[in-house]
Amino acid sequence: MRCAGGVCFRFSNGCRRLAENANRNGRQREARRGSPAAYLGMGNQWAEVGRLDHAMAQYRKALAIDPQCAEAYNNLGVILHRQGRLDEAAAAYGQALALVPNDAEGHLNLGNVRFAQKALDLAEDQYRRAVSLSPDLADVRLNLGVVLLHQGRLEEALAETLRAVALAPERVEGHQNLGVILVRLDRLEEALTSYQRALTLHPDHAETLMNVGVALTRLGRLEEAVERLRRALALDSENPRIHSNLGDALLKWADAGSLPFKSGRWTAAAACYRQVVAAQPKDPVAYYNLGVVLLQLDQLEEAVSLFEQALRLRPADAESLNNLGVALFRLGRFDEAAACYRQALALKPEYVEARFNQSEVKRFTRGDPDLAALETLAAESGRMSPSQAVHLHFALGKALEDVGDFQRAFEHLLQGNAARRRLLPYDEAAVLGRFRRMAELFDASLFERFQGCGEESNVPIFIVGMPRSGSTLVEQILASHPEIYGAGELTDLADVAQNGPDGDLSGAVVLGALLSQNPACFARLGRAYLARLPALPAGRTRITDKMPDNFMLIGLIHLMLPQARIIHTMRDPVDTCVSCFSKLFTEAQDYSFDLAELGRYYRSYHGLMAHWRRVLPPGRLLEISYESLVDDLEGHARRLIAYCGLPWDERCLAFHETQRAILTASATQVRQPLFRGSIGRWRRYRPFLQPLLAALESVLSDGEKFGQDIADERVLREPPPSW
């Protein structure tokens, strides 16, 4: 995201003399018909009603009678300025000042034209002349502050604007500009105070409300920011700056929020950016910002088109090239993605995020110049932002593993994970407590009481388990079947579980409905979930929801959708955890950046899955281990399709040829034939894994053998009609 909207300052036109003289000159018109004063009066009256050409004609008549009439030159300059004829306006003001050089307002007006011409030094010179002639003229101080702000001279701008506010405390412009400068100085709370004073004077001023929203966004008070920006938009719905700033706030709010709320905020941000694109079709930033949010919404083809349009307008833009590469990568167009990353890095070799993205799409070799570039950046990592350092260490971890330097690879993974963990407010006690509460709430008696209360639909296929356990591979096999649509990682189940079937309840209320034994709740939840699913393409009868974390909600799935299929993917515990540790997850896996925390999370997941096996009816889950799937692709693929109640289709064995968007960290692997190279990967890093192995000790010694399906005798070859 790039903040194209920005804040808005207020600029005084300083052309008051035209209006002030209108009545005086009007009174004198009859007495002095044919005099310069009479023509000035008529010109001012025409100007007041917007008839600018008529006004100019009258001023020129005044000048024809009296070429020394400075006021006619000044007022002519005012009209020319309003018409955008800046060079002519400057000439008219210059002639007025040649006749009356000590006219402070004349210097103010000429300074305004120079500012409009972007001649900031000349504008400053005129304003300072006006200040020397009339130190108490608030308009001059205000506009001088604006020029100094544009020149980056923030402390001087602040001083001049404070003087303007002291001279005219009733002027909204002074308080608003003071807020803008304070935001630039990162004095955000003081800026909010200034904006509030402006709003006290003008409560419904859209641009001031917009500026408040920008400051609140910077402060991380995102819900308040969105509320102010929406109020501003209600007052000025056509203003692209407000739309852009609201889009920025919504994106940040989505990033800071939990999964159930992200999609709605991304959708709202996209609507804002579409308005900006419509209003500013030549602005590359507008296309870029809309492309960024569509990446979040998985609307990849349109995102590609938007980044390409941004690049047509600004070809040498490394960020657009990088994000175009991300969209192409997710679409499986790896060669094109790699080309985009190369172009971005040619423009900006120190672009760490592009280096990271490049590492995901290529295999490094010894002597690789891209590896050398990463090593060079690592030597300068002390000057990077924390986020950049995280990306760099993960990229080096991947590159060094590719070339077989496993010790240095894991050292960088440790540094990258530690840096990422420092950025996260992960509450381990709260997370692990949720595992215990789910097991306590969803006990066997609950399932007995509410058997058959859910919505009867066999459309959804839930694929659950730990990340990096083979869930993307299983979904790709299923999505290769002509009747199954692979929808990827959906947030809809967490949404209905957290907010209720109508989206207006809290998670506590939903769980309270279980405790109060409300049978109708489960069918309503099931219908609400089904209503949120993407529309099925023609010929498809099933849809996969591959959100791994839904293993937490298996009990709720069983009650609300008793005919839905639930597939649990498993992998060797240590391989699973090491694979998680080696991937830079952007959200929802905050537990994965510390080896001990990761091990404890896995242990809790393992215990909850054992609970589901005990309390659910036999055969309710199909459990597939990654290792067994690699060893016998066809056998397990047939089990998967049979479990879903569908006829076998050979295309499921050619899963790597299926063209679809894949958004997970396994995007490259599942577009290749099966390989065994990742089995036992953790042994390369055994010396570093003591915290993880200690946390997993009970899991590794409880007698279950990984690499085989757990409790195969309870997995039915053909699913029963109901459970």
What tens digit of pLDDT does each residue of 531-575 get? Answer: 999 999 999 999 999 999 999 999 999 999 999 999 999 999 999
The pLDDT of residue 319 = 97
Residue 466 forms part of a structural domain: yes
- For residue 222, give Cα distances in angstroms to 178, 225, 248, 265: 22, 5, 10, 11
Residue 504 forms part of a structural domain: yes
Residue 696 forms part of a structural domain: yes
221 contacts: CB under 8 Å, gap ≥ 6: none
pLDDT digits (tens, 9 = 90+) for 205-240: 999 999 999 999 999 999 999 999 999 999 999 999
Total domains, the chain? 1
Residue 109 has pLDDT above 80, yes or no: yes
Residue 180 forms part of a structural domain: no
Q: Residue 487 is part of which domain span?
A: 429-714
Taking the C-alpha atoms of 272, 278, 283 and 287 in order, what is their torsion angle to the nearest 10 degrees?
Answer: 60
The pLDDT of residue 11 = 44
Q: What would you report as the CA-atom Rg of the chain, rounded to the nearest whole angstrom?
A: 33
The pLDDT of residue 42 = 84
Alpha helices in 616-689 (DSSP H): 626-631, 633-643
Task: Label residue 710 by pLDDT band (50, 70, 90).
Answer: very low
Residue 569 forms part of a structural domain: yes
The pLDDT of residue 33 = 55
Residue 256 forms part of a structural domain: no
pLDDT digits (tens, 9 = 90+) for 255-276: 876 665 777 899 999 999 999 9
Residue 279 forms part of a structural domain: no
The pLDDT of residue 547 = 94
pLDDT digits (tens, 9 = 90+) for 121-138: 999 999 999 999 999 999
Residue 210 forms part of a structural domain: no
The pLDDT of residue 674 = 64
Task: Label residue 617 by pLDDT band (50, 70, 90).
Answer: very high
Phi, psi of 333 (to 5 degrees): -95, 70
The pLDDT of residue 704 = 44
Letter string b/e over residues 686-706, b meaning 16 or more CB atoms within 10 A of that residue's CB: eebbeebbebbeebeeeeeeb
Does the pTM surpass 0.85? The reply is: no
pLDDT digits (tens, 9 = 90+) for 439-461: 998 999 989 888 888 999 999 99
- For residue 329, give Cα distances in angstroms to 113, 392, 564, 658: 50, 19, 31, 15
The pLDDT of residue 675 = 59
Question: What is the average pLDDT value for the chain, to the nearest integer?
Answer: 87
Q: What is the CATH number of the domain that holds 636?
A: 3.40.50.300
Average pLDDT of 395-404? 96
